[in-house]
Amino acid sequence: GSDDIIAGNVSKHIVLPAGYCGQPKKGHLIFDACFESGNLGRVDHVTEFEYDLFIRPDTCNPRFRVWFNFTVENVKESQ
């Protein structure tokens, strides 16, 4: 659930649709937060254009999640 503890950042995490087998294609997004100030802990695929993103809490203030910092690669036109 969304209350799970997220320990680390995603690192070049390719998000594939459920049941998809094979090499990632253009449009299968690659999320990365493995850098200083990155804070994306988990990504769930919902639809082609929708993802649930779980942001890690701030190290010094775990009650709040008021900022986000991550990259997204492998997008296709009009995605």
Alpha-carbon distance of 14 to 39, in angstroms, equals 16
Radius of gyration of the chain (CA): 13
pLDDT digits (tens, 9 = 90+) for 4-34: 556 688 899 999 998 999 999 999 999 999 8
Nearest to 8 by CA among 31, 38, 41, 53: 41
* Position 78 pLDDT exceeds 90: no
pTM for the whole structure:
0.78
Over range 57-61, report the average pLDDT: 77
* Position 39 pLDDT exceeds 80: yes
* Position 63 pLDDT exceeds 70: yes
Nearest to 79 by CA among 52, 50, 49, 51: 49
Q: Is 13 helix (H, G, I), strand (E, B) or coil?
A: strand
